[in-house]
């Protein structure tokens, strides 16, 4: 039996998906310790896992953060930075909590780690400790290559679809992104905002990490690591057709059914009434789930409410998160229901369509419950790329939250509800998803880990 660490950010979607990974590995005979840089102690321990808190990640380091004197001119600051480079880097390493991470991980005494690909500080510490690990990703493949068949994940381009999806335009978008990364790195250096990146690279190099194999990024990662095994919580069949690089493995959507079991009686009563009304009146239930990462788009939500206003045969549930007050919305139809939070999986079980911002965790949950989607990308991170894949595979329709009118939103909802091809596609992808669930995660981890589980 191996002792495996699950090391994550603690963000909501990431937390739920990684708890499913932890649960499946535990069922396969391993001992699990969950570590996070956000305070998710109660949620993790309520699921029965050992939890270890980590110091929060320091995402920015400037000269003023290092308590060094600030020089008046850019030239003097540059000279000062060059003269004191070693001292600045050492101070930066200390402020990045690298020694604290190292002490905590040493005490945890793990055999293997699955770590979020964005936790670069901890990736380099694991390497320094000579602890074997794999990266965890919720993204589809996002590397230039494969005959330019794969567009950047930040775009909603669909390969080979019109002029926008041709190889030349895909190449242009890759070049544009790479130039943007280089420009941002340069600007950060010139404005003395790049000490975190430099300190991490210096720490990695000091500990023998092959820094030449690191790919500089900034959208949103600082770095990517093509030479390290990466486990993606997506399905190969849902990606655009291409040949993934050899260290990129799909281990399927991770949906943790055991979450959100304890919620208020008021929410429970309201949902029971809505679900009962749906069945008695033979109505369709539309569930709009707003991203937990950013405040919901109030303008879009108002358009959505107008889109269903005269559709008495539809019921609409909208979750607003904790950043929008329900009183913002006036004159609501009696078949529109606003909540700050609902148990999403419980609602999806009863929904006929889900409207979401193209967050991959929401998409995976729709696949789990075979719910077709109307996708309005939040246009952040990988959301455009996820929306394009849903649309391309016929699992739903991709709209534009900024340009679609209430009438266009209503028409798209009607199409998904009335045209059987969308439900059929969800059924097909659900069957593929079940095959991933039937596989052991241990089988794609290093052989040494599996051997420990047999001892």
**What digits encode the pLDDT tens for the residues 144-170?**
865 567 899 999 999 988 888 898 999
Q: Write the pLDDT tens digit of every residue in 379-437.
A: 888 999 999 999 999 999 999 999 999 999 999 999 999 999 999 999 999 999 999 99
Q: Which of 143, 364, 113 is nearest to 234 (CA)?
A: 364
Rounded Cα distance between 195 and 37, Å, is 20
Model pLDDT for residues 71-105, shown as the tens digit of each residue: 667 777 778 788 888 888 889 999 999 999 999 99
3-class DSSP assignment, residue 202:
helix
- Summarised one tens digit per residue, pLDDT across range 297-354 is 889 999 999 999 999 999 999 998 877 888 889 899 999 999 989 999 999 999 999 9
**Could you give the CA distance from residue 66 to residue 196 in angstroms, rounded to a whole number?**
11
Q: Which residues pair with 213 in a beta bridge?
A: none
For the stretch 297-303, contacts whose Cβ atoms lie closer than 8 Å and that sit 24 or more positions apart, written own/partner, are 297/378, 297/401, 298/324, 298/328, 300/376, 300/401, 300/402, 301/329, 302/329, 303/404, 303/405, 303/406, 303/409
> What is the reported pLDDT for 146?
56
**176 token code pair:** 């544009």
Distance (Å, rounded) from C-alpha 301 to C-alpha 200? 42
Alpha helices, H only, 129-166 = none
- C-alpha angle with apex 172: 166 to 178, nearest 5 degrees? 140
pLDDT value at residue 218 = 60
pTM equals 0.91
Give residue limits of the domains in the chain.
3-73+94-256+438-449, 265-435
Architecture (CATH level 2) of domain 265-435: 3-Layer(aba) Sandwich (3.40)
Instruction: Report, at the CATH architecture level, how domain 3-73+94-256+438-449 is classified.
Output: 3-Layer(aba) Sandwich (3.40)
Following CA atoms 405, 326, 260, 315 in sequence, which dihedral angle do they give, to the nearest 10 degrees?
A: -50
């Amino acid at each position: 039996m191996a002792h495996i660490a699950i090391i994550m950010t603690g963000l909501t979607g990431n937390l739920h998906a990684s708890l499913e990974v932890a649960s499946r590995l535990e069922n396969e005979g391993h001992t699990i310790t969950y570590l996070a840089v956000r305070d998710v102690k109660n949620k993790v321990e309520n699921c029965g896992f050992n939890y270890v808190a980590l110091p929060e990640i320091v995402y920015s380091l400037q000269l003023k953060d290092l308590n060094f004197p600030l020089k008046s001119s850019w030239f003097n600051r540059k000279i000062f930075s060059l003269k004191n480079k070693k001292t600045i880097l050492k101070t930066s390493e200390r402020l990045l909590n690298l020694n604290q991470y190292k002490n905590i991980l040493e005490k945890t005494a793990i055999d293997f780690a699955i770590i979020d690909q964005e936790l670069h500080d901890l990736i380099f510490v694991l390497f320094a400790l000579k602890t074997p690990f794999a990266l965890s990703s919720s993204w589809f493949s996002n590397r230039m290559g494969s005959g330019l068949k794969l567009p950047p994940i930040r775009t909603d381009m669909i390969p080979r679809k019109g002029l926008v999806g041709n190889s030349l335009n895909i190449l242009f978008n890759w070049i544009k992104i790479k130039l943007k990364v280089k420009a941002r790195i340069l600007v950060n250096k010139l404005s003395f905002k790049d000490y975190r990146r430099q300190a991490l690279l210096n720490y990695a190099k000091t500990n023998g990490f092959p820094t030449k194999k690191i790919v500089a990024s900034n959208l949103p990662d600082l770095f990517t690591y093509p030479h390290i095994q990466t486990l993606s919580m997506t399905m190969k069949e849902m990606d655009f057709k291409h040949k993934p690089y050899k260290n990129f493995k799909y281990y399927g959507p991770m949906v943790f059914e055991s979450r959100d079991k304890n919620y208020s009686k008021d929410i429970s009563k309201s949902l029971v009434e809505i679900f009962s009304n749906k069945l008695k009146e033979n109505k369709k239930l539309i569930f709009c789930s707003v991203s937990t990462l950013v405040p919901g788009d109030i303008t879009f939500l108002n358009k959505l409410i107008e889109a269903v206003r005269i559709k008495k045969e539809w019921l609409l549930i909208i979750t607003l998160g904790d950043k929008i007050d329900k009183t913002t919305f006036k004159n609501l139809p009696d078949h529109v229901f606003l909540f700050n939070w609902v148990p999403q999986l419980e609602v999806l079980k009863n929904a006929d369509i889900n409207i979401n911002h193209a967050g991959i965790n929401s998409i995976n949950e729709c696949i789990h419950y075979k719910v077709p989607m109307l996708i309005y990308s939040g246009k952040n991170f990988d959301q455009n790329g996820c929306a394009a894949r849903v649309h391309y595979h016929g699992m739903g329709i991709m709209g534009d939250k900024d340009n679609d009118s209430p009438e266009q939103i209503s028409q798209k909802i009607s199409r998904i509800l009335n045209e059987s091809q969308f439900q059929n596609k969800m059924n097909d992808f659900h069957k593929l998803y079940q095959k991933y669930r039937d596989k052991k995660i241990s089988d794609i981890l290093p052989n040494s880990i599996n051997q420990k589980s047999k001892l």
